[in-house]
Structure 1
Amino acid sequence: MKSNKVIIVFLSLISWIGFAQEQKMTNSEIVAFKQKVNAVAKKIQTLSSDFTQYKHMDFLSKDIETSGKMYFSAPNLLKWQYKNPYNYSILFKNNKIFIDDEGKKNTVDIGNSKIFGKINTLIVGSVSGNMFDEKEFTISFFKTKTNNITRLLPKDASLKKYIKQIELTFDSDDATVIQVKLIESSDDYTRIVLNNKKLNGKIEDSVFNN
């Protein structure tokens, strides 16, 4: 009986610590946070970063881990260059998605698909931090000691079929995105962690070649 009480107290302590680490922002904090993020997003002309991606699927015992380099150029050029464990790139450009799978190339016309268009806007917005569209999302705001977190629930029925929730983690100092988590309707998710970010550095035009 005594051991059971110890376990209960221990679990309660864990819950309390978890709650203490993440708290809802007040209305005034939300206003200040959104203003800071929007101000930073408007100044971003280019952004490059290393990234590590974790793909979680319930039927796998371990997340699938890939890594590479991300490049963004305002207003909507975006490239994900996977380098490990394989060479693969996805380029968002001119309302199209260009895919290069180790030399095998394919193109998807975003203009022919409403859902692809929304996903493109979502991905570009998640990188630049410009995603506070109350018409498209129900948004909640949280804070920890080191980061700010926004959780976005899509309102569009067609988007909800693919994406249940988007979670963006911002560095509280420079108000840039350091982690993107896309939760699918099946509750599988993709988590992308950005490291070694460089703001407004020179990115060669050739990076965005098809």
Structure 2
Amino acid sequence: MFKNIILGAFLLVSTFFVAQNTAMSGAEAKVFVTKVSSETKEIKTLQADFIQTKKMDFLDKSIITSGKMSLKSPNTLSWKYTKPYQYSIIFKENKIYINDQGKKSSVDAKSKTFEKINKLIVGSSNGKMFSDPEFAVAYFKNGTSNIAKFTPKSAQLLKYIKQIELHFPKNQTTVSQVNMTEASGDTTNIVFKNTKINAPIPASEFSL
């Protein structure tokens, strides 16, 4: 009985918080897009620490990793995982460069999941994400954030990605959180902290 009461309270609280996400009006969405698109044009570099949480149906526990993300305009992006293992992935010149604990390789940037996250993150630094022809965008807000939800338009892309959400803290134009839901139901959550804009980035951050 006690468990049922706790579960009921949890569901009630969850429903309350979910309900706080409300759709923006057309005018609100226009102001938001214009502000982000305008201010992000000034971004040349972006750095942030991140924590990534991956939930997969066949695993009981989430996979939690952390590291540092570095972005250099127009389209160079580095993810360096430091915990619980060393792993680097760099998107540069339409190639993906990987260093898996000392084992290096490179492939064409054709991943249907992570590559799309990268594309939107790069787009979020130059204001071009909202005009990406591969996605339909819906805009929401709550007490702390503005949220852009990207849904693939093509059936081909929908085979891999169901939706990608980008969260922007109120009065900020850089992404603080990314939520991706894959077609399989698996989810990836990335939270950014200690964001630095237009600070110098050593060339070594974009090399293996």
TM-score by length of 1: 0.86
Decide which moves more: 82-91 or 130-139: 130-139
Decide which moves more: 27-36 or 121-130: 121-130
CA contact (8 A) 2:117 2:164 kept: no
> Quick one: distance in 2 between partners of 1:12 and 1:77?
42
Aligned-residue offset at 1:158: 2.3
Aligned residue identity for 1:199 = I
**Counterpart position of 1:38:** 37
Unaligned runs of 5+ in 1: none
CA RMSD in angstroms comes to 2.4
CA contact (8 A) 1:40 1:176 kept: no
CA contact (8 A) 2:112 2:157 kept: no
**Counterpart position of 1:126:** 121
CA contact (8 A) 2:167 2:178 kept: yes
Pairing 1:1-210 to 2, within 5 Å after superposition: 14=13, 17-110=16-109, 115-116=110-111, 120=115, 122-129=117-124, 130=127, 131-133=129-131, 135-210=133-208
CA contact (8 A) 1:166 1:182 kept: yes
CA contact (8 A) 2:75 2:122 kept: no
Aligned residue identity for 2:153 = K
> Quick one: distance in 1 between partners of 2:137 and 2:171?
21
Percent identity reads: 45
Unaligned runs of 5+ in 2: none
- Which of the pair has more CA radius of gyration? 1
Would the alpha carbon gap of residues 206 and 33 (structure 1) be closer, same or farther in structure 2, given more than 3 Å must change? same
SS of the residue 2:131 aligns to: coil
Would the alpha carbon gap of residues 18 and 137 (structure 1) be closer, same or farther in structure 2, given more than 3 Å must change? same
SS of the residue 1:177 aligns to: coil
Aligned residue identity for 1:207 = E
> Quick one: distance in 1 between partners of 2:32 and 2:63?
33
Aligned-residue offset at 1:171: 1.2
Aligned residue identity for 1:152 = F
> Quick one: distance in 2 between partners of 1:192 and 1:59?
20
> Quick one: distance in 2 between partners of 1:52 and 1:10?
29
Aligned-residue offset at 1:123: 1.1
Aligned-residue offset at 1:138: 1.6
Aligned residue identity for 1:160 = L
Aligned residue identity for 1:126 = I
SS of the residue 1:61 aligns to: coil
CA contact (8 A) 1:169 1:177 kept: yes
- Stretches of 4+ aligned residues off by more than 4 angstroms: 9-13
SS of the residue 2:115 aligns to: helix
Aligned-residue offset at 1:70: 0.4
CA contact (8 A) 1:152 1:165 kept: yes
Would the alpha carbon gap of residues 95 and 12 (structure 1) be closer, same or farther in structure 2, given more than 3 Å must change? closer
